[in-house]
Structure 1
Amino acid sequence: MGEKDMPRIISRREVLLGLAAVPAMGLIRPAWAQQGLLARLQAAKSVTVGITNFPPYSSVGMDGTPGGFVPTVTKVIMGRLGITEIKVMTSTFGELIPAMMAGRCDFISTAMTISKARCAQVGYADPMIADGPCLVSLPGKLQNAPKTIADLVKQKLVVGVSTGGALSRYAASAGVEPGNIRQLPDNNALIDGLVAGQVQIVLQDHAGIEHVYMQRKLPVEVTFPIPDAPKHSSSAAFRKTDSDLRDAYQREFRKMKASGEFQAISRQFGFEPAQDMVDSTAEQACSVAEH
């Protein structure tokens, strides 16, 4: 083959400046551009997770480090994937998915309720928490404190719920008038609102709100479980396009469940995981999710 027959190597600069035509087979992408999110995080040894400050599910320390149940599970999994630095982006539940989709965090590491609407948006890890809502009011403040969601709707009380949480949508779908729904950013704010009279009753997941009123030694009236309210499960969530990261997370999480390590961590935070929840998959949880 003569010199004039030799193929000319086109430089990247020529392609970018439009000085040379790209072969029909297309420009070969550099190796870093072909990597999925997991590989990029492993190369950087760092990840940014989105969480809510909702102890004991998830929390942020004074130094900005993540704590709480779900982030603790995440720390173990990330370490086994070679990712040693965990950065935190804090937000309300309603803002977490938009923030993740906008690239402000790599995935969500908090107890995000598995709902029908969210299953259409994100890919979940297997359930980590099975919980249900409770009703919390101050003793003597309500003449006849509701014991069911039907009672709550009928009495037309001002109800406190977490901002953007699944229970805010549930309250509206159950028939609570929109003008009677007050969204507050976290469990501390919900109890503050109850004490200050901003809300007459709180509708919130039991474990999280119990943590706050027990910590404050606040006398309250609690209905749990609520007989006509559905239970639900919660877990970490990922962009559906990041299946490599989600699948790796799932593999490590399932090893933790099989070994009993996950159950031991659960008990450290006051959760006693039922076997049917431990055996449940994200797909199964989404198939039965409501609202």
Structure 2
Amino acid sequence: MRRRSALAAPLAVALPAMAQTSPLRLRVGFAVGYAPFSEVGSDGQLKGFEIDLAQALCNRLAMQCVPVMLDFDGLIPALQSRKIDAIMASMSITPERQRVIAFSAPYYFSPVRLVMRSGTGLDGSPASLKGKRIGVERGTIHERFLAEQFKDSQVMRYATQDQAFLDLKSGRLDATLVDAVIAQFGFLNQSDGRGFGFAGPDFGRDERYYGKGIGVGLRKTEAQTLGRRIDEALATLRGSGALKTLNDRYFSFDLVTPKP
């Protein structure tokens, strides 16, 4: 049920809400499988916060959204090779990534937490996890954070976060580092997540790694053209309250108001 390879073809299923008549297309890369941001429903249709936001942006831009499902670590290469035009996959705006691609203004802000079995007595600090196995999805900022801040732990890399959750449940991992919202909806709220919980602080506040929020990834050559139009559309959605309404459709807490 997780994401396909970096060379995956555009999504085969149609999105009923997606415009079908606009002559201008926006190929949007999604890392599908993270409820409630982007996932394939039981009816085979894409759904989620980022799916709906992409459609709202396309409506403002008068463009046809064309969704493309990719592995997370294949998104930037696909953007650079012009297989897609934009990335909407909970990608943090960081200096490291900004050297390679451009970003829109942030459209949401996500906490980052460790998930561990409850009752272990471990506090989630690097010292408490010395020699322990921590799972992480390859190609994410979490991977770099663990490599540099949890040097005495064993960092186990996975193609998808679901694989890390499976190994956490089976006991092959001691912890996994992940966006808190993804962990809450994709694991802790499910039967497999019983007996597990968050540990440690919100590492997402460390701007050295996690930057200033989640933005739409774009080619640098289009930052002043498509990027500017997307920023204007986001500003309109935020100013009208439509972005907050979309937030409230999926979350009981506010992810879209900028950090103080």
Query: Is the TM value for this pair above 0.5?
Result: yes
Q: Tell me what 1:225 maps to.
A: 201
Which among 78, 87, 94 is matched to residue 108 of structure 1? 87
Q: CA deviation at 1:215?
A: 3.7
Q: Give 5+ residue unaligned stretches, structure 1.
A: 1-41, 281-291
Paired residue for 1:250, among 217, 231, 247?
231
CA offset digits 1:20-67 (Å, max 9, x no partner):
xxxxxxxxxxxxxxxxxxxxxx97332221111222222244676542
In 1, the alpha carbon distance for the partners of 2:112 and 2:126 equals: 10
Equivalents in 2 of 1:128, 1:147: separation in Å? 29
**Structure with the largest fraction of helix:** 1
Q: What corresponds to 1:172 in structure 2?
A: 147
CA distance in 1, matches of 2:99, 2:27: 23
Conserved 8 A contact 1:187-1:209: no
Q: Which residue of 2 aligns with 1:29?
A: none
Is the Cα–Cα contact under 8 Å of residues 147 and 226 in structure 1 kept in the other structure? no
1:97 is matched with which residue? 76
1:9 aligns with: none
Corresponding residue number in structure 1 for 2:18: none
TM-score (norm 2): 0.79
Give a deviation string over 1:161-190, Cα, whole Å, max 9, x none: 112110001111114358x11122333222
The AA in structure 1 aligned to 2:92 is: T
Deviations 1:180-223 (A, max 9, x none): 11122333222111112332111111011111123413221312
Give the aligned partner of residue 202 of structure 1. 176
Residue aligned with 1:130, SS: coil
Shift of 1:272: 0.6
Amino acid at match of 2:215: S
1:196 maps to a residue whose letter is S
Which amino acid in 2 is paired with 1:129? Y
In structure 1, the partner of 2:104 is 125
- Count of matched residue positions in the alignment of Structure 1 and Structure 2: 231
Q: Say if 1:133 and 1:224, in contact at 8 Å, map to a contact too.
A: no
> Runs of 4 or more off by more than 4 Å in structure 1?
61-65
TM superposition shift of 1:274: 6.1
Match for 2:188 among 210, 214, 220?
214
CA contact (8 A) 2:243 2:256 kept: no
Query: Could you tell me how far apart the structure 2 residues matched to 1:92 and 1:262 are?
Result: 26
Quote the RMSD (CA, aligned, Å).
2.5
3-state SS of paired residue (2:128): helix
CA contact (8 A) 2:110 2:204 kept: no
1:127 maps to a residue whose letter is: P
For residue 80 of structure 1, give the secondary structure of its aligned residue in structure 2: helix
Cα contact 1:148–1:228 (8 A) shared by 2: no
Compared with structure 1, are the counterparts of its residues 149 and 124 closer, same or farther at alpha carbon in structure 2 (3 Å cutoff)?
A: farther
Are 2:245 and 1:264 equivalent residues in the alignment?
yes
Q: Say which of 13, 38, 43 aligns to 1:58.
A: 38
Q: Is the 8 A contact 2:112 2:204 kept in 1?
A: no
Instruction: Rate the CA distance shift 1:56–1:181 in 2: closer, same or farther, 3 A.
Output: same
**276 and 109 in structure 1: CA distance in 2 versus 1, 3 angstrom threshold:** closer
**Percentage identity across paired residues of the two chains:** 19
1:160 aligns with 2:135: yes
Change (3 A) 1:124 1:189: same
**Which amino acid is 1:265 matched to?**
L
* Cα distance in 1 for residues equivalent to 2:240 and 2:30: 26
Change (3 A) 1:173 1:120: same
